[in-house]
Amino acid sequence: MTLSPVDIFGSRILLAGPGGQVAAPIVEALAGQCELTAVARFSDEKQRQQLEAMGVNTVKGDLADHRSLQACPSDVDYVINLAVVKSGDFDYDLRANAEGIGNLMAHCRSAKAVLHFSSTAVYEYAGQQPREESAPLGDNHRAMFPTYSLSKIAAESVCRFAARQYGIPTTIARLSVPYGNNGGWPFFHLLMMKEGMEIDVHPEAPNFYNLLHSSDYIEKLPYLLAAASTEVCTVNFGGSEAVSIEQWCEYLGELCGLQPRFRDNPQAFGSLQIDTEKMHALIGPTKKDWRQGLREMVEQLAPELLLA
């Protein structure tokens, strides 16, 4: 028996990081049904104007600076944190990513629930072993994003601290590989294949992940909010079916008449398959078949590449 989703219709939501790859489809879905305020640094002013035109209230703020969040509403029903920064500067990234969620929660202490997006990049590499939520943590993404895993781990700790200190029901969702009609990792792979570039993969092939389509993560949001507790629910969040980089590239290749060329690189991100038991018990399985989702992505973003 999965949880009953919260009813977000008409609720007041503060969402951090609205312009990101994961957030954009969520913002689009929520804009019509909730009173949505979005906070980001809005280095791109056009993005802010687009959000305002969609009926989203915007606040220019930096999660690293708690004073800049004062302009955010504090009496919201839900807080969703999708902001992340990977500047490579440890001081700033720890401040924005880890202290940032603490700053948000300190500002919104009466929220009914906080949903903080984390990443499976918090897990130590363990080959093709599906990772349970209790699996050892590690500096998984160091080779490509030096500050990422460490600051995501730190962010989870700050988030738990704030949930317990302020009594805010909280869920931490450890996201696998999000994708959809606005792109994602598989789309980068397709672009590399188109250019005839080699795709670096970890030599312990195949490299499994859990592709999560935007339609699924949007549908599951109210369930993840329902899972929130002051003791903090930490749960993996990915597609129910594991699929490897090699498989999705082969499939994209079939769709577009391209042949993926893989290059073994021990520095490449290795398998990060999730154990889905807790996720399924709380929020149920995902629905989108990965092949269907990838085909729709190509139809939307690069229809000219599809074989007739």
Ligand X SMILES: NC(=O)c1ccc[n+]([C@@H]2O[C@H](COP(=O)([O-])OP(=O)(O)OC[C@H]3O[C@@H](n4cnc5c(N)ncnc54)[C@H](OP(=O)(O)O)[C@@H]3O)[C@@H](O)[C@H]2O)c1
Residues of this chain that interact with ligand X (CB under 6 A) are 16-23, 40-43, 62-64, 82-85, 96, 117, 119, 152, 175, 177-178, 185
Q: Nearer to ligand X by C-beta: 40 or 221?
A: 40
> Least distance (Å) from ligand X to the CB of residue 292?
20
Q: Nearer to ligand X by C-beta: 22 or 242?
A: 22
Q: Nearer to ligand X by C-beta: 8 or 72?
A: 72
> Least distance (Å) from ligand X to the CB of residue 232?
16
Q: Nearer to ligand X by C-beta: 144 or 306?
A: 144
Q: Nearer to ligand X by C-beta: 87 or 267?
A: 87
Contact criterion met (CB below 8 Å) for 219 and 281: no
> Least distance (Å) from ligand X to the CB of residue 39?
6
> Least distance (Å) from ligand X to the CB of residue 38?
8
> Least distance (Å) from ligand X to the CB of residue 257?
26
Contact criterion met (CB below 8 Å) for 212 and 54: no
Q: Nearer to ligand X by C-beta: 1 or 53?
A: 53
> Least distance (Å) from ligand X to the CB of residue 191?
15
Q: Nearer to ligand X by C-beta: 178 or 222?
A: 178
> Least distance (Å) from ligand X to the CB of residue 66?
11
Buried b (16+ CB within 10 A) or exposed e, 14-44: bbbbbbbbbbbbbbbbbbeebbbbbbbbbee
Residue in the shown chain whose Cβ atom is closest to ligand X? 20
Contact criterion met (CB below 8 Å) for 120 and 85: no
Q: Nearer to ligand X by C-beta: 172 or 258?
A: 172
> Least distance (Å) from ligand X to the CB of residue 26?
9
